[in-house]
Amino acid sequence: MTSERRLVAIYPGSFDPLTNGHLDLIARGCRLADHLIVAILKNTQKQPLFSVDERIQMIREAASDFANAEVDSFEGLLVDYAARRGANVILRGIRAISDYETELQMALINRRMRPETETIFLMSGEEYSFISSRMIKEIIMLKGDVSSFVPPSVAQRLRAKKVN
Ligand code: PNS
Q: Is the CB of 77 under 6 A from ligand 1?
A: yes
CA of 162 to the centre of ligand 1 (A): 28
Is the overall model pTM greater than 0.85, yes or no? yes
Residue of the CA atom closest to atom 14 of ligand 1: 78
* Extents of the domains making up the chain: 8-129
- What confidence score (pLDDT) does residue 45 get? 85
Check if 90 has its Cβ closer than 6 Å to any atom of ligand 1.
no
Q: How many whole angstroms separate alpha carbon 36 and alpha carbon 68?
A: 6
Nearest CA to ligand 1 atom 2: 13
% of the chain residues with pLDDT over 70:
96
Give the active site residue among 28, 92, 95, 157. 95
Helices 52-62 and 152-161 pack at an angle, to 10 degrees, of 150
pLDDT tens digits for range 43-102: 988 899 999 999 999 999 999 999 999 999 999 999 999 999 999 999 999 999 999 999
pLDDT at 14 over 50: yes
Q: Is residue 46 annotated as part of the catalytic site, yes or no? A: yes
Q: Is 22 a catalytic residue?
A: yes
8-129 CATH fold: Rossmann fold (3.40.50)
pLDDT of residue 164: 46
* Whole-angstrom distance, CA of residue 25 vs CA of residue 15: 12
Residue 16 CA, closest ligand 1 atom number: 1
Angle, CA of 149, 56 and 102, to the nearest 5°:
65
Sort 161 into a burial class: Cβ within 10 Å, 0-12 / 13-18 / 19+. Answer: middle
